[in-house]
Amino acid sequence: MKILIIGSKGMLGQALVKVFSAGNEVLAWDREEIDITEAQSSNIKIQNLRPDLVINAAAYNNVDGAETERELAQKINGYAVGYLSKTCKGLDIPLVHYSTDYVFDGTNRKGYKESDFPNPVSAYGESKFLGERELQKNTDKFYLIRLSRLFGKEAYIASAKKSFVNLMLDLAKNHAELEAVDEEISCPTHAVDVAERTRYIAESKPEFGIYHAANVGSATWFEFAAEIFKIKQIDVKLKPVPASRFPRPAMRPQHSVLLNTKLPPMRSWKEALKEFLISN
């Protein structure tokens, strides 16, 4: 298959390129090759390429920044997804697109099924929900994959945010005591596992629609950090604190566990984290 991966330098994009490269012709595009907010030029570039499948891992991912850059977030996470959907519909090929647990308000302590209706509490969540609607409005051949709290190799780009895992490891180098928020329960998820799940979907071709791809189990930020230090055998005194200890511009869902009710379960986040930390 000829597969176009957009956002190929991002955390998920890199993993996708690696996983899909075995046995496929992969075109890895990032900002230098395409600006997905430019409808016309993107359409021409993708039409000329004639891929069999497009995977869009490009996104505006700054949850707090979106509160002040609302328009930019909506352009990249929302309207651009509509443009890509129209292009793929024109070529009669499927589009894989990613969304987030942050489309939910976090009040459902049992977790969220694929069919649950979003109700975002932040500008970032709203922009991703806009993308979900743009996708579903403009093509029927879509796989909308929601994921959460990604960890993996950081993006190649200069502007790359430090991942939570690296942030904790870096802080532990210079601090004997650290604080981490013991709220906001979600599923830490390995980028490679999302890429493998995407490959499974692309190859097994289940019904088009919404899928949840999160590692099994859930954790607060504190529990996530504690596991990182346990695996790396780093002796740091970690203190649980409420979210109010680190005020941030964007609201976060309190409990946004993604339930996968349609595909075989993924492995646990602790197992995936261990593999990631041991191999990096």
Ligand X SMILES: NC(=O)c1ccc[n+]([C@@H]2O[C@H](COP(=O)([O-])OP(=O)(O)OC[C@H]3O[C@@H](n4cnc5c(N)ncnc54)[C@H](OP(=O)(O)O)[C@@H]3O)[C@@H](O)[C@H]2O)c1
Catalytic residues: 124
4 scored as a contact of ligand X (CB under 6 A): no
Q: Are strands 25-29 and 189-190 parallel, antiparallel or unpaired?
A: unpaired
Looking at beta carbons, which residue is closest to ligand X?
Answer: 10
DSSP assignment string, 167-187: HHHHHHHH-SEEEEE---BB-
Q: How far is the CB of 210 from ligand X (least distance, A)?
A: 14
Q: Does 162 bind ligand X (CB under 6 A)?
A: no
Our finding on whether 159 is near ligand X (CB under 6 A) is: yes
- Minimal CA–CA distance to 160: which of 10, 277, 57, 29? 10
Which residue in 4, 11, 185, 238 binds ligand X (CB under 6 A)? Answer: 11
Element (H, E) at 203: helix 191-204
User: Of the two residues 157 and 167, which places its CB atom closer to ligand X in the complex?
Assistant: 157
Q: For residues 7 and 58, is the Cβ–Cβ distance under 8 A?
A: yes
Query: Can you give the length of the chain in residues?
Result: 280
Cβ of residue 239: shortest distance to ligand X, in angstroms?
A: 24
| Neighbour count for residue 202 (Cβ, 10 Å) | 19
Of residues 102-141, those binding ligand X (CB under 6 A): 128
The CB-of-256 to ligand X minimum distance in angstroms stands at 10
* Residues 38-97 close enough to bind ligand X by CB under 6 A: 57-59, 61, 76
Task: Identify the three-state secondary structure at position 86.
Answer: helix
- Provide the residue type at 111 as one letter: G
Considering the rule CB under 6 A, would residue 98 count as an interface residue with ligand X?
A: yes
Contact residues: ligand X, CB under 6 A? 7, 9-13, 30-31, 34-37, 57-59, 61, 76, 98, 100, 128, 147-150, 155, 157, 159
